[in-house]
Amino acid sequence: MEKAVSLNFISVPSDQLQLANVGRSDTLSGHKYGPAVRPYYLIHYILAGSGTFKTDQSIYKLHAGQGFLIEPGQETIYIADKNTPWSYVWVGFSGNFADQLMQQIPLNQREPIFSLNDPKRLIELVNLLLLKSVNSTTKKLLNLSYLLEFLSIISNATIISRESTTSISDVYVEKAISLVNKNFPNISAASLAQMIGLDRSYLGKRFKKVTGMTLQTYLKNYKITQARHLIESTNLSLLEISQRCGYQRVDSLARTFKATYGLTPSDFRLQQKELLTL
């Protein structure tokens, strides 16, 4: 089961570049999607939690801050983690020009995993694409501009090699991610290194090599995406959410949230409620 909001677009075979669909999903423990095959490109970005992405060639253990590409005709399965099920956004697109664009982006079926340290604009673009309006040439062109900007962000993302992502090839990094899940929000990079028994700097280097982001960035992203999930999916007050997510003050949460997502927590919550009623 999952809580999802999405839009599907009408396919026009003659179009050189077109949107197939766009959406956002908050999954439940162990939620599985697939095996599935699609006739278009599909890019997912993980907002919170973790899960497993399976192709016919590899198995990837992924978490918040990372994303993955599915190419047309590729069979895939993805499964939400039982303890920390993921939330993600996605954009699907196709066309001959889409093929040309994807050939220029260093993301492909062999290396489909990427990471973003600052997903703010990417998330804004997904939200803009989710807004319904009268079907018109103006709206269609505007959506294509959003898609092109989305792909420009992906083209600058950090591509994570298969060797680094397949079953998380570093036991210390796997242990670090597990400890974050179990001890959130009362954990820091220093306490994490102490619990694992490694020097903080050394753990940080191993973490960056495997995940494509620094340990500090991972903790920061984990913290704000957990807050986002609570803002979006519960009626908890901002004070309660701040306390649950390790922010000492509500204004600290609000400041970080706006810097990340471009909206205050209150405005974001209102926007999500409006999207669900469209």
- DSSP per position, 36-53: E--SSEEEEEEEESEEEE
Name the nearest CA neighbour of 115 among 46, 18, 32.
46
Q: Does 2-159 match 171-277 in CATH topology?
A: no
pTM: 0.67
In angstroms, rounded to a whole number, what is the distance separating the alpha carbons of residues 180 and 20?
36
Domain boundaries, the chain: 2-159, 171-277
Distant-in-sequence, close-in-space partners of 142: CB < 8 Å, separation ≥ 6 = none
Q: Which CATH fold topology does 171-277 show?
A: Arc Repressor Mutant, subunit A (1.10.10)
pLDDT (tens digit, 9 = 90+) per residue, 48-97? Answer: 888 999 987 788 989 888 999 999 988 899 999 887 889 999 999 999 99
Rounded Cα–Cα distance for residues 146 and 134 (Å):
17
pLDDT in tens, 231-258: 876 788 999 999 988 898 999 999 998 8
Q: Residue 200 has which token pair?
A: 């903080």
For the domain made up of 2-159, give the CATH fold. Answer: Jelly Rolls (2.60.120)
Q: Is 192 within 8 Å of 215 (Cβ atoms)? A: yes
DSSP-assigned letter for residue 85: B
Answer yes or no: are the C-beta atoms of 25 and 7 closer than 8 Å: no
Nearest C-alpha neighbor of 123 from the set 24, 189, 26? 24
Q: Could you tell me where the DSSP H helices lie in 14-119? A: 96-104
Partners of residue 25 on adjacent β-strands: 4, 88
pLDDT in tens, 114-132: 998 788 899 999 999 988 7
User: To the nearest whole percent, how much of the chain has pLDDT over 90?
Assistant: 39
Spatial separation of the C-alpha atoms in residues 55 and 179, rounded to whole Å? 27
